[in-house]
Structure 1
Amino acid sequence: MVLVFGSSLAFAKNILVYPYLSGHEFWDLVKSEFVKVNQELGLDYEAFDSKNNRFNYHRKVLEVLRSSKKGDSLYVICQGDSFLSIAKEAIDKEIKLVVFNTKIEDELRDRIYNLPNASKYIFSFYPDDYHAARLLIEQMVRMSNKRELKLLVINGKKNSSVADLREQAVLDYVRKNENIKLLQVAPGLWDKEVANDIFLIAQSRYRDIDMVWTASDLMALGVLEAAEKLKISDKLIIGGIDWTSSFLKKFSSSNKLISVGGHYKEIGDVIRTINLYNLKKISAEEVRNKKIFKKFDFKKSN
């Protein structure tokens, strides 16, 4: 999908490239916030998803980068070492590469910032995923009146900065709370059906599961649908992250569901910050030192 807005007053353009993930409404929220803030500021913008390159997000980023012009700002997420070649090309074309929502790992970050002029064109912002995961598990525990809790954790993909930080937060919390028994940590791959299958297998193995913490609402929905088929959804506390509407709609039928979210608004503050840099109101150093941690909040069923 391509979304375009034009203004004869603008000389450069903000361009968003977001991953195409079927059913993941988080990126729809990000795109909507991106559009809203650019319109508020009167800036030119385009938004592309990676649907035509869904097996290689970076290929789509390169395609868009190569059609962009000097002065444009490209808003992307970082997925692995191949990002280095994208950074090199952006610097060569004098295009700002603005990484959001994902952390550039330290080793890769060092390699990128060793490139000539990288400090002028490469910027990175990411939400506090550790805090989000910690908030979710804390609120789930508060929803229970049991003294001992059996917990199943369904994370995203291994070796993803988002998934790793969220998982670490849960494990740290469990280690400090002896009343929680961790049954299993399983990779749900950000997929509803995978999470559904994981829960069914875990339920047959462990039987008495009290809580299922998931790294995304879409996976939480998969768990809930499996639990509903087994007619045990009223016994489970199920939590997710992202404020996905399809999961939130289920809140009216259960009092044991919770979702943490709000971080999709991060993109708006990132755009405002880069706009100040483009207007020479703040320096590149001030941009890099600026912390844009959108405060996570939670919604739970009553």
Structure 2
Amino acid sequence: MVLAGNDEPGEAVMISGDLTTPASVQREAGGQRFFNEKKNITLRQIVHGQWNESISREQMHTLLQRYPNVRYVWTANDHMAFGAMKAAKAAGKTPGEDIFFATVNTSEKVLASREKGNISALGGGHFSAAGLALSHIYAHDSGLPIPKRCSGELFRLITPDTHFFTQLREQAWHEIPFLKMARRTESQCAPHSTNMDN
């Protein structure tokens, strides 16, 4: 997102999901940490769009009235990004040109928006949790040790014109190497397990 904006100084806002779920809290913390590390970007406000497009649209409308020069917008999911982009367009801004959006998810609609450049940065991959879980079950059934708690990340940047992007767009789930991913994840496992791990 910031690279799409030529790393120029500017104001930013965040539209997080909610105040309580781990997915929301952790995504928000990651987004906030990113902006805190960018000395040339001022994070003006964090709001919570409840994962909802219409709520996000109204919030973005208010945020743009409050901060008319906002350049960077981070949202915790694609629905909220769509709402925020609608508000930006209504305010005469062009996503991908004078205002830059980052979001999370891998829906067909958001992949198309990323490919067009309306979304400048897209993260995702948490859908692979089920595939990784099945690969761990397969590994255990094959006589390998039960996987321990792992620190590997499910999320990654999704960039057009890459093999992974094409797999997602074409929903070619059979081409995604879950076993290879599982082995890479297991290499980052803790040396001991807890009751929660088994």
**TM-score (normalised: structure 1):** 0.48
Instruction: Quote the Cα distance in structure 1 between the aligned partners of 2:150 and 2:115.
Output: 39
Are 2:124 and 1:264 aligned?
Answer: no
Instruction: Quote the Cα distance in structure 2 between the aligned partners of 1:254 and 1:296.
Output: 18
CA contact (8 A) 1:266 1:293 kept: no
- Which structure 1 segments of 5+ residues have no match? 1-139
> Which amino acid letter does the alignment assign opposite residue 103 of structure 2?
G
Instruction: Quote the Cα distance in structure 1 between the aligned partners of 2:118 and 2:28.
Output: 25
Displacement, 1:240? 0.7
Displacement, 1:257? 2.8
Are 2:108 and 1:248 aligned?
Answer: no
Cα deviations by residue, 1:202-234 (Å, 9 ceiling, x for unpaired)? 001111110110011111111112222222124
CA contact (8 A) 2:122 2:158 kept: yes
The CA RMSD measured in Å over matched residues stands at 2.3
1:190 aligns to what SS in structure 2? coil
Relative to structure 1, the CA distance from residue 300 to residue 143 in structure 2 (aligned partners, 3 Å threshold; closer, same or farther) is farther
Relative to structure 1, the CA distance from residue 230 to residue 254 in structure 2 (aligned partners, 3 Å threshold; closer, same or farther) is farther
User: Partner of 1:187 in structure 2?
Assistant: 48
User: Partner of 1:70 in structure 2?
Assistant: none
User: Partner of 2:88 in structure 1?
Assistant: 227
Relative to structure 1, the CA distance from residue 149 to residue 288 in structure 2 (aligned partners, 3 Å threshold; closer, same or farther) is same
Cα deviations by residue, 1:145-196 (Å, 9 ceiling, x for unpaired)? 2531200101111121111111111222222222110110001111111111
Equivalent pairs counted in the alignment come to 159
> Which amino acid letter does the alignment assign opposite residue 145 of structure 1?
N
Instruction: Quote the Cα distance in structure 2 between the aligned partners of 1:293 and 1:169.
Output: 13
Question: What is the correspondence of 1:114-263 to structure 2 with a 5 Å cutoff?
Answer: 140-145=1-6, 147-233=8-94, 234-251=97-114, 253-254=116-117, 257-263=120-126
> Which amino acid letter does the alignment assign opposite residue 137 of structure 2?
I
Instruction: Quote the Cα distance in structure 2 between the aligned partners of 1:293 and 1:178.
Output: 26
1:169 aligns to what SS in structure 2? helix
Relative to structure 1, the CA distance from residue 184 to residue 290 in structure 2 (aligned partners, 3 Å threshold; closer, same or farther) is closer
Relative to structure 1, the CA distance from residue 300 to residue 187 in structure 2 (aligned partners, 3 Å threshold; closer, same or farther) is farther
**TM-score (normalised: structure 2):** 0.70
2:153 aligns to what SS in structure 1? coil
Relative to structure 1, the CA distance from residue 207 to residue 144 in structure 2 (aligned partners, 3 Å threshold; closer, same or farther) is same
Q: Which is higher, the Rg of structure 1 or of structure 2?
A: 1
- Which structure 2 segments of 5+ residues have no match? 162-198
Relative to structure 1, the CA distance from residue 295 to residue 195 in structure 2 (aligned partners, 3 Å threshold; closer, same or farther) is closer
Instruction: Quote the Cα distance in structure 1 between the aligned partners of 2:34 and 2:155.
Output: 20
